[in-house]
Chains A and B, each alone.
Chain A
Amino acid sequence: MSMSLDIAALGPMLAVGVGAILLPIAEVLLARKRTFLSRPLTRERRGTFLAVGSLLCLVIALIVSFNGFVGPVRVFNMSNPMIVMDRVSHFLNIVVLLGAAMTVLVSVKYLADIRTNHGEYYALVMSSVLGMMFLTSATDLILLFLALELMSIPLYVLSGFQRESLRSNESALKYFLVGSFASAILLYGMALLYGATGSVSLAEIGARFDPESAIDMLGAALVLVGLGFKISSVPFHQWAPDVYEGAPTTVTGFMATTVKVAAFGALLRVLTLALEPASDVVYGALWVIAVLTMTVGNLMAIIQQNIKRMLAYSSIAHAGYVLVGLIVGTIEGYAAVLFYLLVYTFMTLGAFTVVAILAKGGEDRDRIDDLAGLGATRPLMAAAMAISMFALAGIPPTAGFMGKFQLFRAAIERGTETGDTSLFVLAILGVLNSAVSLAYYLRVPLVMYFREPDAKLTPDLPGFFERFVLLTCLAAIVLLGVVPGDVFVIFGDFDILSKTTAAAQQLLSPPSP
């Protein structure tokens, strides 16, 4: 067999990777006294240049991914298919890239506001994105682990990016310790799986997996625990609130969305390819984890005073909802997961963007009370925040409702088909959790609209980039909620609901090498 490498399959990764390498160099060039623009640049200017540069790479990667999405499945190396660029990877990459692009746009002013405008920020974001993109397309344990580390290590640095801040340092240290711990567990699980099956390819592990054997099951369990840390499912969630609270807000938004998307991508692959033979036990365990995750996340979010902490618990709860789709395990279930991850990214980033804009004078203003009177002083920001909250709570006609609807629809569909009561109970627990979540989501519009503003603390006007992000999130939340079937018509024939279904279909029928 000849070595045929399909380099072009890696198009989106290349665009991002080139960016990750060139950006630090560009920073050095821009920081010199005599730049190629022949005059020294201020720190802000440099940041803007680098942000636009990274944005360029991300947009190129987005375009390539869109093209790949409608094209056929491509495998990087046919003789050893470690990287499969199918619709699932492209879809998740698009979500990750969108999240990253919005993060970069918001970071420009935010980094200046918290006086941490260092150029390496963008290079770190790009490397992390690169890791995520490999993670969503990895069908091999080795690559999966490498991608996971490539994603995580820049994030450890990013969460400690505000060097002078104690909170930020604490966040980085905690994230690093827990993250390495999780990686070690994951690696241990992988080693066991390799030892038991003699292969690192997910598909081959699936073929040789023996659900009767203790080693196989232990390996599977440890892999799930390792990934469970990354999606912050209960009981592997304790790091999330502390890390999210301390990290710079834009980084938190980035972590809360893209990392989850990529980790869920990996989980999807592992569950469908490798752990299929053990599905009964695995899904039983996931059922318990999903219920715990939703319940603990929502209950803990109620008592938070800090909005970043609240959103951290909210993101834990949402991981629980997404798990519902995985447990269902049908095409509809996976399609719902993909759709939900897209919607979740917009909802959560919308909220984090508002929090990022509020930062002023070198400090975050991230108590919920800091939002008082925002409805009167900054109507657009307040509207974006309120609609994000309503969407996260799953109130129609927002995208958040459509996402939850898809998840629970898939569960009930499967449940009525098989008469499986546990899926019905899961749906009931899910909607009860949604009702509980109202208690904290509603507090935000309540503070913004029903309380008088603090006259001393008028927040900055959102700049052009921020306004662009807010409007994008708003448009996405409304459009994906009202006309999910017709969204993206402007990009050609791109019906998001049928396309997520098509992507999910590919997940169940992976290409054979």
Chain B
Amino acid sequence: MLDGIGGWVDQHLLTALIFSPIASLLVPMMLEAFGWRLSVTMWKGFALIVSLVGLGLGIEVWRRFDATVGSMQMVEHSTWISGYGINYYVGIDGISLFLVVLAAFLLPIILIASWVEIAKRVKQYIFFMMLLQTGMLGAFLSLNLFLFYVFWEVMLIPMYFVIGIWGGPGRLYATVKFFIYTMLGSLLMLVGILVLVFLHYQQFPGDPVTFDYIGFAGAPGIIDTPIPTEGQPWWQNQSCLFLLFGLSFAIKVPVFPFHTWLPDAHVEAPTAGSVVLAGVLLKLGTYGFLRYSLPLFPVATIDLAPWVLGLAVIGIIYGALVAMVQQDIKRLVAYASVSHLGFVMLGLFALNLQGLEGALLQMVNHGLSTGALFLLVGMLYQRRHVRDIAEFGGLARVMPTFTAFFVITTMASIGLPLLNGFVGEFLILIGIFAVSPLVAVLATSGIILSAVYMLWMVRRVFFGPLLHDVNRKLVDLGLREKLVATAMVVPMIWIGIYPSSFLRPMDRSLSALLRKMEARGADIAAYQGLGESSGRASKESTDTSGPESGE
């Protein structure tokens, strides 16, 4: 029987990865149904084992991944609702690979980190975390637009409960705001998906209706549909469809001015919720732009890019400025998130290889460093039950190990060389410089500002004299917490020192994406700036990225 399962998993690695979290819960549920009383610790232990298996599957996917191929790998396809073109269709490429690995990597860490914090309704907590994991992995791996939409929405319900049940005092407001904001966007995306599907149906009259994003077995997929830029009714134009999709993604990222749900959700969510939110959920927004908006609507992308870049720059600077005046550490990190994700947006809309690679890497980086910051803030909150910066000061004396981890993470977050943030931001800046030096300069000011607020916060919390006597009794990290923190810091250093192991698998898929955009009518060369300046930019980038990746 085990051989049978092993063989099946071998054949359906991605399906196993997506559904193992939620399906495995049947085991303890059955045991309880047959009268076994499982203790809370057993439930937690079981969840941890499942999450580690998930991590193992994620690493196996990475191991099997063929970096020399730019197309989808490990594809699985079977009919879900026949006659409607709705299929269970999953696959992985260089764009989704690391986001999937990141999600698989974060789950065990989150479960270990929240081992003590979550004291009430543990079973429900585990159920919702597992459902969330299934939803996120499914959304990253779907190649059928309907399937993607379903997974995209499935994530909302567990997150709603995670914030609502285990969150802070303002959780009700935060969770409803989060839900309505994201759902509003995604419903508009649903209309966009439908229009696309029937445009496709019209363009390929012989074929059945299909929601498959990439054609399966020779049939054309949605990605092969020529989408008019004008002439048709306005709502069938690329720009309108871009907006329908883009609003949904922009809310998820979140792009300024759709970001207001994020600080509320982050502050009220329990640590685990914040980490998942920052680590993976927000990446779905940027992933959506990269996977769907850019290749599907390339002409509209270029037409509307100035607006997106403008909003991204505003987000970077605004997020940084607001972060600067926050009293609450968690809120500060939340606004820092808004600022950092602005960088990712810049990288995406640079529409060149450096920009895209930087953006994709920065998504992973942000997941790691912001995730780690939330974990560390959570540990501090666990001890003192406050998060106000003013309540702390001089913690380095009582909690040296904690301080060390926190400082490393902060450095990674503000982009110190040899840590992960630097590589991503650097690539993004190269990429965006080719498009608009002005935007690059403005974005750089965001980096400086981020150094200001982060270092300021670190100084006020960790250094200087011990201002409050309560803080004298704080204990340093225990073994469990050290384990968690170490697990987060190691990949930060890895990416910082040897980014090629992450950049290489992305390469083919991203260049394939750029080629696809050009084939679909996007004049990327013109967008990159004309003639000489473009040549200089790309020369510069090759010069600098050479030693970078060889480091």
Query: A residues within 8 Å of B by Cβ?
Result: 390, 395-397, 401, 405, 408-409, 412-413, 415-417, 419, 421, 424, 427-428, 431-432, 434-435, 438-439, 442-443, 445-446, 449-450, 483-485, 497-498
Question: For the complex, is B8 an interface residue (Cβ under 8 Å from A)?
Answer: no
- Tell me, in angstroms, the Cα distance from A443 to B180 when the chains sit together: 12
Residues of A near B160 (CB, < 8 A) are 442, 445
Interface residues on B, range: 35 or more
Residues of B near A395 (CB, < 8 A) are 153, 156-157, 183
Question: For the complex, is B246 an interface residue (Cβ under 8 Å from A)?
Answer: no
Q: Give a binary string over B168-206; 1 marks a CB under 8 Å from any A CB, 0 the rest.
A: 000110011001100110011011001101110110000
Q: Give a binary string over B92-125; 1 marks a CB under 8 Å from any A CB, 0 the rest.
A: 0000000000000000000000000000000000
- In B218-252, the 8 Å CB interface with A consists of 232-236
Given contacts A431-B190, A438-B183, A497-B84, contact A446 B150 (CB under 8 A): no
- Tell me, in angstroms, the Cα distance from A390 to B183 when the chains sit together: 12
Q: Is the CB of B161 within 8 A of A416?
A: no
Which 8 A/B pairs are nearest by Cβ-Cβ distance? A431-B187, A412-B194, A416-B198, A435-B184, A396-B150, A485-B81, A424-B235, A396-B153
Q: Is the CB of A450 within 8 A of B164?
A: yes
Q: Is the CB of A416 within 8 A of B199?
A: yes
B165, B197, B236: the one contacting A450 at CB < 8 Å is B165
Residues of B near A417 (CB, < 8 A) are 198, 202
Q: Is the CB of A390 within 8 A of B165?
A: no
Question: For the complex, is B82 an interface residue (Cβ under 8 Å from A)?
Answer: yes
- Tell me, in angstroms, the Cα distance from A286 to B360 when the chains sit together: 48
Question: For the complex, is B478 an interface residue (Cβ under 8 Å from A)?
Answer: no
A408, A446, A497: the one contacting B190 at CB < 8 Å is A408
- In B418-474, the 8 Å CB interface with A consists of none
Q: List 10 A-B contacts (CB under 8 A).
A: A395-B156, A408-B194, A416-B195, A416-B199, A416-B202, A419-B236, A428-B188, A438-B176, A438-B180, A442-B160
How far does the Cβ of A264 sit from chain B's closest Cβ, in whole Å? Answer: 23
Which residue of chain A lies nearest to B232 when distances are taken between CB atoms in the complex?
A: A419
Q: Is the CB of A442 within 8 A of B187?
A: no
Given contacts A435-B180, A449-B161, A484-B81, contact A412 B172 (CB under 8 A): no
- Tell me, in angstroms, the Cα distance from A327 to B237 when the chains sit together: 24
Q: Is the CB of B84 within 8 A of A431?
A: no
Q: Which of A401, A416, A438, A449 has the most CB of B within 10 A?
A: A416
Which residue of chain B lies nearest to A431 when distances are taken between CB atoms in the complex?
A: B187
Question: For the complex, is B154 an interface residue (Cβ under 8 Å from A)?
Answer: yes
- Tell me, in angstroms, the Cα distance from A161 to B179 when the chains sit together: 40
Residues of A near B175 (CB, < 8 A) are 446
How far does the Cβ of B83 sit from chain A's closest Cβ, in whole Å? Answer: 7
The SS class assigned to the A binding surface is helix
Which residue of chain A lies nearest to B189 when distances are taken between CB atoms in the complex?
A: A431
Residues of B near A497 (CB, < 8 A) are 81, 83-84
Q: Is the CB of B81 within 8 A of A434?
A: no
- In B66-83, the 8 Å CB interface with A consists of 80-83
B164, B176, B190, B198: the one contacting A439 at CB < 8 Å is B176
Given contacts A438-B180, A449-B161, A450-B165, contact A408 B154 (CB under 8 A): no
- Tell me, in angstroms, the Cα distance from A415 to B149 when the chains sit together: 21
The SS class assigned to the B binding surface is helix
Q: Is the CB of A424 within 8 A of B233?
A: yes
- Tell me, in angstroms, the Cα distance from A146 to B197 when the chains sit together: 45
Q: Is the CB of A442 within 8 A of B176?
A: yes
Given contacts A397-B154, A439-B180, 18 further A-B contacts (CB under 8 A): A390-B157, A395-B153, A395-B183, A396-B149, A401-B153, A408-B194, A412-B195, A431-B187, A431-B188, A432-B184, A438-B180, A438-B183, A442-B160, A446-B164, A450-B172, A485-B83, A485-B84, A497-B83
Q: Is the CB of A498 within 8 A of B164?
A: no
Q: Is the CB of A396 within 8 A of B154?
A: yes
A397, A416, A439, A498: the one contacting B236 at CB < 8 Å is A416
How far does the Cβ of B509 sit from chain A's closest Cβ, in whole Å? Answer: 28
Q: Is the CB of A408 within 8 A of B191?
A: yes
- Tell me, in angstroms, the Cα distance from A158 to B86 when the chains sit together: 44
Q: Which of A396, A424, A443 has the most CB of B within 10 A?
A: A396
Given contacts A432-B184, A438-B180, contact A421 B233 (CB under 8 A): yes
Q: Is the CB of A419 within 8 A of B176?
A: no
How far does the Cβ of B90 sit from chain A's closest Cβ, in whole Å? Answer: 16
Residues of A near B176 (CB, < 8 A) are 438-439, 442-443, 446
Residues of A near B232 (CB, < 8 A) are 419
Q: Is the CB of B164 within 8 A of A435?
A: no
Residues of B near A446 (CB, < 8 A) are 164, 172, 175-176
Which residue of chain A lies nearest to B240 when distances are taken between CB atoms in the complex?
A: A424
Residues of A near B82 (CB, < 8 A) are 485
Which residue of chain A lies nearest to B244 when distances are taken between CB atoms in the complex?
A: A428
- Tell me, in angstroms, the Cα distance from A438 to B185 when the chains sit together: 13
- Tell me, in angstroms, the Cα distance from A415 to B305 when the chains sit together: 29
Which residue of chain A lies nearest to B171 when distances are taken between CB atoms in the complex?
A: A450
Residues of B near A438 (CB, < 8 A) are 176, 179-180, 183
Residues of A near B161 (CB, < 8 A) are 445, 449
Residues of A near B190 (CB, < 8 A) are 405, 408, 431
- Tell me, in angstroms, the Cα distance from A397 to B22 when the chains sit together: 14
Q: Is the CB of B187 within 8 A of A434?
A: yes
- Tell me, in angstroms, the Cα distance from A483 to B176 when the chains sit together: 29
Residues of B near A390 (CB, < 8 A) are 157
- Tell me, in angstroms, the Cα distance from A285 to B485 when the chains sit together: 63
- In B143-171, the 8 Å CB interface with A consists of 149-150, 153-154, 156-157, 160-161, 164-165, 171
- Tell me, in angstroms, the Cα distance from A427 to B526 when the chains sit together: 37
Residues of A near B84 (CB, < 8 A) are 485, 497
Given contacts A395-B156, A395-B157, contact A427 B194 (CB under 8 A): yes
Residues of B near A483 (CB, < 8 A) are 81
- Tell me, in angstroms, the Cα distance from A479 to B318 when the chains sit together: 46
- Tell me, in angstroms, the Cα distance from A129 to B330 when the chains sit together: 59
A409, A435, A498: the one contacting B187 at CB < 8 Å is A435
Residues of B near A434 (CB, < 8 A) are 183, 187
Which residue of chain A lies nearest to B146 when distances are taken between CB atoms in the complex?
A: A405
How far does the Cβ of A501 sit from chain B's closest Cβ, in whole Å? Answer: 8
How far does the Cβ of B437 sit from chain A's closest Cβ, in whole Å? Answer: 39
Residues of B near A419 (CB, < 8 A) are 232-233, 236
Residues of A near B198 (CB, < 8 A) are 412-413, 415-417
Residues of B near A498 (CB, < 8 A) are 83
Q: Which of B149, B154, B190 has the most CB of A within 10 A?
A: B190
How far does the Cβ of A484 sit from chain B's closest Cβ, in whole Å? Answer: 6
Residues of A near B187 (CB, < 8 A) are 431-432, 434-435
Residues of A near B201 (CB, < 8 A) are 413, 416
- Tell me, in angstroms, the Cα distance from A485 to B183 when the chains sit together: 26
Q: Which of A390, A409, A443, A484 has the most CB of B within 10 A?
A: A409
